[in-house]
Structure formats: C-alpha cells, structure tokens
Amino acid sequence: MDLEFLQSMDIQILVGVAVAALAIVVGAVYLFASTKSKGCLDPENFKEFKLVKRQQLSHNVAKFTFELPTPTSALGLPIGQHISCRGKDSQGEEVIKPYTPTTLDSDVGYFELVIKMYPQGRMSHHFRELRVGDYLAVKGPKGQFRYQPGEVRAFGMIAGGSGITPMFQVARAILENPKDTTNVHLIYANVTYEDILLKEELDSLAAKYPGRFKVYYVLNQPPEVWDGGVGFVSKEMIQTHCPAPAPDIRVLRCGPPPMNKAMTGHLDALGYSPDMQFQF
C-alpha cells in the first residue's frame, strides 16, 4: 500500500514538473513573440535614432541609415505604413512630416530613409543639415493601409516622385515573401531621368521576379534615347500597365496632390470602384 502511494506521489511530482516546464516555455515564447512584434517604435511618443550612414544619391537625394538599439532589433513598421519625423526648418521652427522607410522588419538592426530634399522644403532643410552621429526623432507607426498576404490577386501602383517609397516597401514585402503570390504592376512618373528614385532597386526586383513584378517609367522630360512613357500618366497607360478592374485587384497611388487628383479621375473613368483604390 505504501509503495503504491509513493509511486502515485512520484507520478504527481513528475506531472507537476512537466506542466511547470511547459508553462515556462510557453511564457518565454509569448514574451519573445510579443517583444519581437512590438518593435522599436512608439505611436504616442517620439524616440531618437542615431544616423550611422549618409549616402548622397544625387544632387538633392540621399539615403539615410539609422541604427536600432541592437543588431537584432526590428523597427516594427507594418507593411505600407509610415513614420512621423520631427526636425527644424531654416527658421528654427519645429516641423513634422511623414516618411516611409525603404527597409522592412526583416532588415534588422537598422532602417533607411531615401529623402528628396527640395529647396524650399521645411523638413528638407533638417535632412540637409543632418550629419552622421546626429539623432532623428521618430514616432509611429502611422497610416490606414493594412495588408495581408494574398488578399488580392494583383496590385496596380501609380507613383510620382518620392511617392515611390511606400510602393517600394509594399512591393518588396510581397515579392520577398515566398508564400505570397500577388503580382505587382508599377507605373512610376518623374520629370527627368535623374529624378527617378530607387531605380537600381526597382530594376533589380523586375529582373529577379520577372513574372510577378513589372515597372513602367514615365518621364515628362525624357532623354533622347528613351523607351518608357512620355508626358503625364494617362488613362491609356493605366489600361496597358495596370491590372483591369476586378474584385480581387487594388490600385495604390502616391504622388503630388495634382497627380493624385488626376489619377483618381482616370481610375474612376476606367471603372475602378472606390474599394479598388487606395491613396497613401
């Protein structure tokens, strides 16, 4: 009788140890997952990130690389959302402007911003003055765009100038996800060839994913030898280079206000319903 009692106690102890161990493992996994998903951003308060590299891409465009707290830290920015950056203009007044990083959360330890600096731009002044070792105040994530892999068959994208950054972020996230089969059709408009941002990266995506990613460049002032579009983005260009209206497609647009207004008119006229359109 005593032996049976002892054996029963041993089993109870072993079961208790196993349950406790399992609880510790589950708790650790949950803690890791929640920490990982949280990222480094705060939606309510600005946090400062150190500039560790500045690469001038053209006379008015530069790539800024900012360090995250650890080499394995992720920024914590959902696909298609942006951050608010705070700085000072040439008069010393505070200015806040939204930007979309060109990096994803899979790019751990850092994040990058490709910034076009305009002569009269208030935040442009801040970025012109920014030097390696300086800090940038950032808050986020921000934005209404939500994306789940496979939610549409294809995206059409119409971008102008620096409006390419959210498009590039979304396209990269889609194409680099082996479980996502969504196709991406991009129309990217600029004034001159030199104004095209991220061209090398876009061409690389087109070469790497030829069946899933297509980019059509449009220039208002093209060079003598040019095989892309000329002038402004037209209805005919959209018909040719974007997926036709359907319940399982969506067209994203991001550019200067006059362009966004014109594209809305084109898309409406071509039969794209409001549900099929999104403006960053």
Could you confirm whether 99 is annotated as catalytic? yes
233 has binding-site annotation: no
Cα atoms found within 13 Å of the Cα of residue 188, Cβ hemisphere only: 25
123 has binding-site annotation: yes
Question: Is the CA virtual torsion 227, 231, 233, 234 positive or negative?
Answer: negative
User: Which of 8, 5, 27 minimizes the C-alpha distance to 16?
Assistant: 8
User: Which of 91, 164, 116 minimizes the C-alpha distance to 184?
Assistant: 164
Which listed residue (241, 254, 266, 272) is catalytic?
Answer: 254
Question: Is the CA virtual torsion 239, 241, 247, 250 positive or negative?
Answer: negative
Please say whether the beta carbons of 186 and 167 come within 8 A.
yes
73 has binding-site annotation: no
Which listed residue (40, 100, 126, 241) is catalytic?
Answer: 100
Could you confirm whether 147 is annotated as catalytic? no
Which listed residue (40, 82, 242, 266) is catalytic?
Answer: 82
Could you confirm whether 100 is annotated as catalytic? yes
165 has binding-site annotation: yes
* Own/partner pairs, 23-31, CB within 8 angstroms, 24+ separation: none
Please say whether the beta carbons of 112 and 102 come within 8 A.
yes
98 has binding-site annotation: yes
Which listed residue (40, 99, 125, 126) is catalytic?
Answer: 99
Could you confirm whether 126 is annotated as catalytic? no
Please say whether the beta carbons of 43 and 121 come within 8 A.
no
124 has binding-site annotation: yes
Please say whether the beta carbons of 220 and 229 come within 8 A.
no
Residues labelled as active-site residues: 82, 99-100, 254
Cite the annotated binding site by residue number: 98-99, 114, 116, 123-124, 165
Cite the annotated binding site for FAD by residue number: 98-99, 114, 116, 123-124, 165
